Structure 1
Amino acid sequence: MNNSLQSLTKYPSLSSVLAIFTILLVSIFSVNSANAHRGAKGEGDACRIYVGTEVVHFSAYTPTFTKGESYCEAIPNIGLTHIVIDYEGKKLRGSTVEFEITKEPEGTRIFYQKPEKIKTGSMDAKVDFSQFGAGEYLTHVTIVNQGEKLDSHLPFTVGIEIDEDNIPYKLIIPIILVIISLIAMNIVVNKKEKEKQASRADDTH
């Protein structure tokens, strides 16, 4: 009897398996969601660019494809894109700021906003990425103050599927296969245990 109990404890019950599966799914999608919005080290929002102590907010819109939906580090469609840079706070409005977008790794400039003071705190640029193709790009933000330059960068992609987004779906299939195997083993073990119990019952009569 002890051996039978030990064999049963080697395999989780169906309810335990389903509970573990649910926890794994929640964990995977939580991590993926966090990665989707992750910025540079120390930043919680991929849309925010820290330039010294100041912050600007980067947004990209592709109205032809996705209407009012905004993107930061991954723009899915290649075409006319509205790039919006917003200042967080009013301090930058009195500073001279320079914006540039380059295609990487070549470093080819595809957009340039000369250094100027943007009193409104917001800049809107239209870039047709179909002229430059899918790939990796880099936004450069430079503050010019009393001859001193302070710059920062925000990498983003256009027309490229991010592998991180597919990780949960790649993991789900093997997890399901493992669960099916555990359930099958659980059924076999339970069946054998019932057969043993029935055999013992017959022996006692």
Structure 2
Amino acid sequence: MKITKRHGQKTGSSWSRGQSLVLRSAKRVVRLAHLLMFALILQQPVYAHRGDANDADPCRIKVSNEWIHFAAYTPTFSENKSYCRSIPKVGMTNLVFDYEGKQLRHVSIEFEVTKEPEGTRIFYRPPSASKTGTVEGAVDFNQFGAGNYLVHVTIDNDNEKVDTHIPFSVGIEGDESFVKVKKFLFTVAVCIVIGYLCFRYARSGKSGQPNSA
């Protein structure tokens, strides 16, 4: 009877140690997952200068109660592909502003593009109305170089000028589609690492448990 009791006590102690090991392993996995998810968050682009990452369409500019869609085309490099917040190549670029509503067609609107942080004007369209709802312009960025730029859309609202703007870059961040691919690959890599660590610690926890025999 005594031998059986000692054996039971020993088995119970081993089982407790196994449970403790599994618990510690689980806690480590959770901590590592938190660290990896934090690293993933840090990989997201900083939008302090380029707007909120949660914007449904970062190419839209709200002017008064209406919206204007901004698009940039570099036909020499990308034919009909459009950009807005990041233009990958420096060269001749066509700028297109489309009014999404009809109210702005009867309002005089001023368009300007400046290079930042100097504020140097590189494109300007005096205040005027657009009956078609589309305003176009062309800028040769070879003359101004890669950098950060700012589109200013100014409307005269009850004799008070309201300036709305949208920032963009030229020749800095590369193709927006390539950036999205890099984000996706990084996310997949993080998931694989988390899965591997979970499997590894699960096995180490099982190895610490006593045999039923």
Q: TM-score, normalised by structure 2?
A: 0.68
Q: In the aligned structure 1, how far is the partner of 2:161 from the partner of 2:99?
A: 17
How does 1:84-123 map onto structure 2 within 5 Å?
A: 84-123=96-135
Matched, 1:4 2:14: no
Structure 2 regions of 5+ residues with no counterpart? 1-14
**CA 185–81 in structure 1, closer or farther in 2 if over 3 Å, else same:** same
Counterpart in the other structure of 2:12: none
Q: In the TM superposition, what is the alpha-carbon distance from 1:99 to its structure 2 partner?
A: 0.4
Matched, 1:78 2:78: no
Counterpart in the other structure of 2:206: 190
**CA 102–85 in structure 1, closer or farther in 2 if over 3 Å, else same:** same
**CA 169–115 in structure 1, closer or farther in 2 if over 3 Å, else same:** same
Residues 85-136 of structure 1: per-residue CA shift (max 9 Å, x gap): 0112111111111100000000001111111111111011111212211111
Structure 1 regions of 5+ residues with no counterpart? none
1:156 to 168, 171, 179: 168
Provide the secondary structure at the position in 2 that maps to 1:101: strand
**CA 42–2 in structure 1, closer or farther in 2 if over 3 Å, else same:** closer
Give the alignment's Cα RMSD to 1 decimal.
3.6
2:151 to 139, 147, 170: 139
Q: Larger radius of gyration, structure 1 or 2?
A: 2
Q: In the aligned structure 2, how far is the partner of 1:40 from the partner of 1:190?
A: 46
Q: In the TM superposition, what is the alpha-carbon distance from 1:172 to its structure 2 partner?
A: 6.5
Tell me which of the two structures has the higher relative contact order, counting C-alpha pairs closer than 8 angstroms and 6 or more residues apart.
2
**CA 133–91 in structure 1, closer or farther in 2 if over 3 Å, else same:** same
Q: In the TM superposition, what is the alpha-carbon distance from 1:69 to its structure 2 partner?
A: 2.1
**CA 182–148 in structure 1, closer or farther in 2 if over 3 Å, else same:** closer
Given that 2:18 and 2:208 are in contact with CA atoms closer than 8 Å, whether structure 1 keeps it comes out as no
Given that 2:94 and 2:137 are in contact with CA atoms closer than 8 Å, whether structure 1 keeps it comes out as yes
Kindly, what percent of the aligned residue pairs are identical?
Answer: 42
Q: In the aligned structure 1, how far is the partner of 2:23 from the partner of 2:78?
A: 52
